[in-house]
């Protein structure tokens, strides 16, 4: 299955590639004190919606990295329409192929994209290296708010709320703020993905990928209902790098 194709279809009706809503983005943007000219990078930026919203609120200089060409195309159109004067540069490239100078960004973000590094801890360690001393580091990821289910624990989520915060401390970060999604946010995110794929399948029955897309989407839907809805949460974890 083409993962990029699936992600693009599944997120047809979603601005963000995670259960965020705009009020959370606006709140955390305010707390990050992003003054004009601050350099920001979003690793796994998807449609770059969080960078666009930040650019609408303040004059940032931003870089977004993602590997899904459909997301990059949508993001470029949104930038041109909503913030044409904004300093936002997008790159369609794997994170390990993009050359980034250590300690060169005032704020570094990785939202629901920790798999690009191999997991939450690896991603947190990786993006921390990119932040300047005193810079902001923000992780957005799923965590266990209930009892982890062994059926999906090892391959989906590694931390509970407390250990996710503690992971940042282990890498020399100072926890500043955490905000979490509600069950309504999570349901909306999971079910709009299902809605997007089901709609695509109905409109494109002759696409050779349709059966595989449906199978994968329905598997994720059923897994969420059986194992995840009562136990999973999603949060934004904001830290400051010491220095």
In a domain, 23, yes or no: yes
In a domain, 80, yes or no: yes
27 touches 58 (CB < 8 A): no
Number of domains in the chain: 1
63 touches 42 (CB < 8 A): yes
C-alpha pair distances (Å), 36 with each of 22, 48, 95: 21, 19, 26
Q: How far apart are CA 218 and CA 212, in angstroms?
A: 10
C-alpha pair distances (Å), 64 with each of 15, 53, 166, 217: 15, 13, 27, 27
The pTM (predicted TM-score) of the whole model is 0.93
In a domain, 203, yes or no: no
Locate all alpha helices (DSSP H) within the chain, ordered by sequence.
Answer: 3-10, 22-32, 49-57, 69-82, 120-130, 150-156, 161-170, 183-203, 210-223
In a domain, 70, yes or no: yes
135: containing domain: 3-185+225-241
Q: Is pLDDT of 153 > 70?
A: no
pLDDT digits (tens, 9 = 90+) for 41-85: 999 999 999 999 999 999 899 999 999 999 999 999 999 999 999
Check which CATH number belongs to the domain holding 23 and give it. 3.40.50.150
Question: Angle of helix 3-10 relative to helix 183-203, nearest 10 degrees?
Answer: 110
66 φ, ψ (degrees, to nearest 5): -155, 160
pLDDT digits (tens, 9 = 90+) for 84-106: 999 999 999 998 898 889 999 99
């Amino acid at each position: 299955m083409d993962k990029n194709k699936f992600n693009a279809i599944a997120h047809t009706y979603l601005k963000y590639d995670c259960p965020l809503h705009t009020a959370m983005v606006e709140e955390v943007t305010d707390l990050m004190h992003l003054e004009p000219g601050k350099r920001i990078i979003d690793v796994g930026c998807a449609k770059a919606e969080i960078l666009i919203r930040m650019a609408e609120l303040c004059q940032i200089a931003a870089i977004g990295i993602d590997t899904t060409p459909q997301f990059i195309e949508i993001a470029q159109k949104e930038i041109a329409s909503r913030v044409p004067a904004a300093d936002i540069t997008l790159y369609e490239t794997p994170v390990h192929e993009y050359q980034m100078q250590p300690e060169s960004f005032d704020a570094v973000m990785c939202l629901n994209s920790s798999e690009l590094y191999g997991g939450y801890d690896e991603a947190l360690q990786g993006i921390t290296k990119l932040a300047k001393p005193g810079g902001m580091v923000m992780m957005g990821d799923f965590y266990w708010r209930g009892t982890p289910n062994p059926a999906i624990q090892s391959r989906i989520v590694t931390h509970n709320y407390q250990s996710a915060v503690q992971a940042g401390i282990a890498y020399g970060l100072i926890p500043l703020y955490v905000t979490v999604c509600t069950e309504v946010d999570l349901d909306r995110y999971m079910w709009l993905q299902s809605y997007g794929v089901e709609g695509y399948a109905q409109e494109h029955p002759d696409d050779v990928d349709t059966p595989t897309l449906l199978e994968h989407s329905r598997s994720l839907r059923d897994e969420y209902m059986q194992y995840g809805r009562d136990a999973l949460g999603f949060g934004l974890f904001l830290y400051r790098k010491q220095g």
